[in-house]
Amino acid sequence: MIVHEWLEPLGGAEKVMEEIAALYPDSPIRCLWNDAPQRFESSRVTETWLARTPLRRHKALALPIMPEVWRHLGSSDAEWILSSSHLFAHHARFSGPARNAPKYVYAYTPARYIWEPDADVRGNSFGARAVSRPLRALDRRRAQEPKSIAAISEFVRERIKRDWGRDSIVIYPPVDIAAFADDAPGELTEGEQQILDSLPDTFVMGASRFIPYKRLDLVIQLGVAADVHVVLAGNGPSMGELRALADQHPGQVTFVDRPSLALLRELYRRALVYVFPPIEDFGIMPVEAMATGTPVIARSFGGAAETVVDGVTGALLPNFTETEMREAVDRVASIDPAACKAQADQFTRAAFHKGMTDWVGS
């Protein structure tokens, strides 16, 4: 039995979930609700009763009752349970033979809503803050139930130890390295080629959803500090603020709206460096960039500090000060692309599959 919080059309956890589901194709999937019915055969996925209520559209309001919903999943004869959890999916409990089945938890993080509300805007709602204290106690208690826990990074493993009081192993999430290889399929459209041709020979690159905590403003500041053109790829709510900042430096920033995979791959390849300022639990995009041979500038703590090797595949910065950023651009200019590709190869889908089957079984 595979358990996942909820299924969405997009998201890093959903990509991992697809790999888990492919590893265990005969295992049914249980989730709170399914907003991505195209991902899996409908007969394989079962939603909870919460899916039939308006609360499926209001996660913060549903938060207080989620733990109890997970405790009443009905009867199952599953021999094991694998919970893909970033909130409360690790609370899952079935009746029947599966009541005593061993439970494995693949943890993206203990729920930020309740453990680190200042780091997650969803945890700042009145409802979330009102219930966070009792939910922390409940969450820690139920985190003692799993037979074993795997974290997505050492950064998360340390948080699991602090918040749940549990030891865990680390199995890094899968990255589709083949999609960013030199011989990867996919051709640019004429319009995409024109975008590439319009860019200067040397530029630094940032790419992600345009939201505040991604700190894409620091990518612009880095380009200004190093006097290098900046390309920002993506879209999102912070577009207006980023454009306003770019307007202060005319001609120095190019925005590429929602690039296709083929265009993203070419942007990675041509960039002098991919800049990744946020503190993430893992961070897939730095690995994608390295898979194309491009070095990465990232934080010296967080998940990216585990994938980027300072001085070998990029530069790790404590504070992203102007001096640090300017010196980092000089340092990465001599990075060997082959070293970047070799580092990225440690985070393949095959490596994830082996880690999971060694942990749970085949």
Note whether 221 and 316 are same-domain residues: yes
Asked if 286 and 278 count as a contact pair (C-beta separation under 8 A), the reply is: no
Smallest CA-to-CA distance from 243 within 227, 259, 256, 260 is with: 256
pLDDT of amino acid 113: 82
- Where b means 16+ CB within 10 Å and e means fewer, 40-57 reads beeeebbbbebeeeebbe
Instruction: Provide the CATH number for the domain around residue 278.
Output: 3.40.50.2000
From first to last of its 362 residues, the chain has per-residue pLDDT tens of 999 999 998 788 998 999 999 999 999 999 999 999 999 999 999 999 999 999 998 888 898 899 999 999 999 999 999 999 999 999 999 999 999 999 999 999 999 889 987 655 555 555 556 677 889 999 999 999 999 999 999 999 999 999 999 999 999 999 999 999 988 888 899 999 999 999 999 999 999 999 998 999 999 999 999 999 999 999 999 999 999 999 999 999 999 999 999 999 999 999 999 999 999 999 999 999 999 999 999 999 999 999 999 999 999 999 999 999 999 999 999 999 999 999 999 999 999 999 999 999 75
204 and 271 fall within a common domain = yes
- Asked if the structure places residue 157 within a domain, the reply is yes
Q: Say if residue 145 is in the same domain as residue 257.
A: no
For β-strands 169-170 and 2-4, DSSP reports them as unpaired
Phi, psi of 12 (to 5 degrees): -65, -40
Q: List, in sequence order, every residue forming a beta bridge with 230; answer none if it has no partner.
A: 204, 253
Based on the domain organization, do 86 and 189 belong to the same domain? no
Give CA torsion, residues 307, 309, 312, 318, to 10 deg: 130
Question: 355 in a domain, yes or no?
Answer: no
Domain containing residue 21: 2-171
* Co-location of 257 and 283 in the same domain: yes
Same domain, yes or no: 144 and 247: no
Together in a domain, 144 and 250: no
Tell me the two tokens of residue 295.
């070095």
- The model carries a pTM of 0.91
Same domain, 212 and 341: yes
How far, in Å, CA of 54 to CA of 26, rounded? 31
Residues 7 and 137 in one domain: yes
Task: Name beta bridge partners: 340.
Answer: none
CA-nearest of 175, 244, 179, 180 to 210 is 244
The answer to whether the CB of 243 falls within 8 A of the CB of 168 is no
Give yes or no: residues 238 and 299 share one domain. yes
Amino acid at 171: I
- Which pLDDT belongs to residue 33? 96
173-197: burial string, b at 16+ Cβ within 10 Å, e else: bbbbbeebbeeeeeeeeeebeebee
Give the total number of structural domains in the chain. 2
Q: Does one domain contain both 46 and 191?
A: no
Residues 156 and 228 occupy one common structural domain: no
State which of 171, 188, 212 marks the end of a domain: 171
Match 């996925």 to its residue by tokens.
45
